[in-house]
C-alpha cells in the first residue's frame, strides 16, 4: 500500500474500514468532522472490540476553521473507594491487570463524545445522536465479521481472563474462540447504544442508564460506584504545543504522554539531520525518544500531582540541553521502565476545515476483560497502571487520573497544511508519530509511504515484554548493522507486524485537497468523497 488517496469534500481514516465508512456516511449527509468522528468512534467500539470499547477513555484534538486548536480530556479517575488498602486486603502487592479489581477507573470516553457534540453545535453541527450511533447499533445487533486480529488475540489472551466476569459469554460464544469471518454480535451493547442515542452520552453517568452501569459494576466486583460516575466529566484543555522548523505541533496534556511526543520531534529538529531513512535519521529519533522518555517517566502523571506544568518541559533552553545530551554516533544505554497499551487512533477532516485527531482505548487488549452483564460493555484496565507504593510517581489514590500512553497529534505547517496523525501502540505511539511526521513533513515522503515504510520500536508495546530495539526486517540491512555498531540492542522482527502500531494520517492542503493514509498493519482504510 503505497498510493495516497486524495479527495476534496471530506475524509476519514480508521484502523477498521467499517468505522471509516461510518464517518464518511456522516460527512456525505452534511455532518462535520466532529460528528463523523463520533460515528466512527461508536462504530469502532463495536467492530474492533479487542482494541477499544465505550468502557474506555478518549482524547480529542480539534482544529477549528479559525486555526484554533482545542483539546478534550475524557480520562476517567480512580474510584473514590479505590485505595491501596483494598488490594492489600486481598493479599495483593500489585494491581491485577485483569478482572474486577483492574476495573477501578471510570470509563470516560462517552463524556468526550458529549463534549465534542457541544463543540460541534457551535460550529453548525446538527445531526442527532441517534443518527451518529446508527451504524454502531446495527453492527452490535446484526453482527460484524470477526477479524484475524480479534481471533488471534482472543486465542492468546483467553487464559488471562479466568477472573473476568462476562468475558467468556461475549468473546467465547459456545465456549470457543470464533473463527475469522464468523458473525460477532453484542445485542446488549446495541441496546446500551440505543439508550445513549436517545438520551445522549451523558446518560452513561447520570440517570437511569447510569444506575444500571453502577449496579453492573457492583455485581461484577469493581470498586467503582454510582458517585464515581456522577462526579465524572470531560474537560476542555489547551493542548501542549511546540515549535519545530516549519510547523507548530500540538498534542495532549498530562496524564497522557503527549509531552514525550512533542519533545521527541523538537529534539530531533535540533539535530540538523537532512536525509530520511538512513542511520542518522533513525538513530536520531531513537536517542531523542530516550531523552523524552526519561522526562516522561520522572514527571508525567495526573497534572494535579505534577511538580510543574507540563508546558515548562517544552522550554527552548531545556530542549537545547536535552538535545546536547544526544550522541550522534553512540546509543545511550537502555532500558528504562516500559509501558504497555492498546488503542485505536482515527482522523477526520471536513470541507469547512475542521480537523479531528482522536484516540480511544481500553489500555490492554480486551481491557480488564470484565463485561457488564446488562450492558454488553467491556471495561478498561487503565487503573492497573497505578502503583500501590504511595511514594511512586503514579501511586494509586482515590479520584486520581492514571497515566495514559494515549496521545492524539496534530500539526499546523507554515505552508498552510493542517496535518492530523496518530497511532495505537503503548510506548510505540510517540515513536511512530515521530517516524510518520519526520518522513512526511520534514523529508517530503508521500503520506502513505511515510506510514507503510519500515518502523522500529524501543521498549514494550502490545503484549511484548522485551525492552530492546525492535526493527522490521524490511529496514535497510546496512542501517540495521550501523545501529548495532552504535550500541543499540537490535532485534529484527517480521514485516508489517502489529507491534509497530496502527498509524493513520490526513493532511488538509490550503487549496482544500485532502490526502489520507492508513496502516497496512491494521484492518483499516481511508474513506473519502
Point out the residues that are catalytic.
Answer: 343
Distances (CA, A) of 74 to 77, 297, 428: 10, 22, 21
Q: Do the Cβ atoms of 381 and 111 come closer than 8 Å?
A: no
103's torsion region: left (phi>0), alpha (psi -120 to 50) or beta? beta
d(CA 299, CA 285): 21
The answer to whether residues 217 and 179 touch, using CB atoms and an 8 Å cutoff, is: no
Which residue, chain included where needed, has cell 516522561?
Answer: 296
Residue 338: closest CA among 244, 459, 161: 459
**Sign of dihedral through CA atoms 252, 253, 256, 260?**
positive
What Cα–Cα distance (Å) separates residue 15 from each residue in 45, 428, 432, 436?
Answer: 12, 16, 15, 16
CA quadruple 98, 99, 101, 105: dihedral positive or negative? Answer: positive
Beta-sheet strand order (sheet of 469-472): 456-458, 469-472, 490-493
Look at residues 422, 442, 387 and name the one whose alpha carbon lies nearest to residue 256: 422
239 DSSP 8-state letter: P
What does DSSP assign to residue 175? G
Q: Could you tell me where the DSSP H helices lie in 397-457?
A: 428-437, 447-452
Q: How far apart are CA 120 and CA 245, in angstroms?
A: 32
Closest CA to 426 of 317, 338, 297: 338
Amino acid at each position: 500500500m503505497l498510493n495516497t488517496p486524495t479527495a476534496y469534500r471530506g475524509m476519514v481514516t480508521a484502523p477498521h474500514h467499517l468505522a471509516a465508512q461510518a464517518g464518511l456516511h456522516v460527512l456525505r449527509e452534511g455532518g462535520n468532522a466532529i460528528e463523523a468522528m463520533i460515528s466512527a468512534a461508536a462504530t469502532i467500539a463495536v467492530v474492533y472490540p479487542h482494541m477499544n470499547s465505550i468502557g474506555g477513555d478518549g482524547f480529542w484534538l480539534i482544529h477549528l476553521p479559525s486555526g484554533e486548536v482545542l483539546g478534550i480530556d475524557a480520562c476517567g479517575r480512580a474510584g473514590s473507594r479505590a485505595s491501596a488498602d483494598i488490594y492489600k486486603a486481598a493479599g495483593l502487592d500489585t494491581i491485577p491487570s485483569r478482572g474486577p479489581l483492574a476495573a477501578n477507573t471510570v470509563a470516560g470516553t462517552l463524556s468526550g463524545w458529549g463534549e465534542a457534540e457541544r463543540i460541534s453545535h457551535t460550529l453548525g453541527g446538527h445531526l442527532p445522536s441517534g443518527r451518529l450511533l446508527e451504524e454502531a447499533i446495527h453492527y452490535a445487533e446484526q453482527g460484524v465479521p470477526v477479524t484475524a486480529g480479534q481471533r488471534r488475540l482472543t486465542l492468546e489472551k483467553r487464559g488471562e481472563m479466568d477472573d473476568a466476569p462476562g468475558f467468556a459469554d461475549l468473546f467465547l460464544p459456545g465456549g470457543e474462540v470464533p473463527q475469522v469471518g464468523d458473525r460477532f454480535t453484542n445485542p446488549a451493547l446495541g441496546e446500551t447504544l440505543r439508550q445513549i442515542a436517545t438520551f445522549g452520552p451523558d446518560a452513561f453517568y447520570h440517570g437511569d442508564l447510569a444506575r444500571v452501569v453502577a449496579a453492573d459494576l457492583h455485581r461484577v466486583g469493581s470498586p467503582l460506584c454510582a458517585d464515581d460516575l456522577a462526579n465524572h466529566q470531560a474537560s476542555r484543555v489547551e493542548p501542549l504545543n511546540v515549535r519545530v522548523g516549519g510547523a507548530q505541533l500540538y498534542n495532549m496534556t498530562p496524564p497522557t504522554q503527549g509531552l514525550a511526543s512533542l519533545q521527541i520531534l523538537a529534539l530531533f529538529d535540533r539535530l540538523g539531520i537532512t536525509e530520511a531513512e538512513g542511520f542518522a535519521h533513525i538513530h536520531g529519533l531513537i536517542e531523542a525518544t530516550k531523552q523524552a522518555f526519561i522526562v516522561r517517566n520522572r514527571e508525567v502523571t495526573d497534572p494535579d500531582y505534577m511538580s510543574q506544568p507540563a508546558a515548562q518541559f517544552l522550554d527552548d533552553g531545556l530542549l537545547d540541553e536535552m538535545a546536547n545530551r544526544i550522541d550522534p554516533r553512540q546509543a545511550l544505554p537502555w532500558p528504562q521502565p516500559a509501558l504497555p497499551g492498546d488503542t485505536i487512533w482515527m482522523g477526520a477532516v471536513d470541507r469547512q476545515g475542521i480537523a479531528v485527531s482522536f484516540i480511544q482505548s481500553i489500555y490492554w487488549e480486551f481491557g480488564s476483560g470484565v463485561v457488564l452483564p446488562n450492558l454488553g460493555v467491556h471495561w478498561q484496565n487503565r487503573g492497573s497502571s497505578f502503583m500501590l507504593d504511595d511514594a511512586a510517581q503514579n501511586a494509586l489514590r482515590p479520584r486520581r487520573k492514571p497515566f495514559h500512553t494515549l496521545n492524539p497529534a496534530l500539526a499546523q505547517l507554515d505552508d498552510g497544511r493542517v496535518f492530523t496523525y496518530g497511532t495505537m501502540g503503548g510506548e510505540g505511539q510517540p515513536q511512530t508519530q515521530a517516524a510518520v511526521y519526520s518522513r512526511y513533513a520534514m523529508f517530503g515522503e508521500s503520506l502513505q509511504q511515510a506510514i507503510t515504510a519500515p518502523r522500529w520500536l524501543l521498549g514494550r508495546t502490545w503484549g511484548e515484554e522485551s525492552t530492546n530495539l525492535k526493527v522490521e526486517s524490511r529496514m535497510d540491512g546496512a542501517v540495521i548493522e550501523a545501529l548495532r555498531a552504535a550500541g543499540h540492542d537490535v532485534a529484527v522482527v517480521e514485516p508489517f507486524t502489529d507491534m509497530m502500531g496502527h498509524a493513520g494520517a490526513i493532511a488538509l492542503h490550503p487549496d482544500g485537497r485532502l490526502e489520507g493514509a492508513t496502516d497496512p498493519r491494521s484492518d483499516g482504510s481511508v474513506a473519502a468523497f
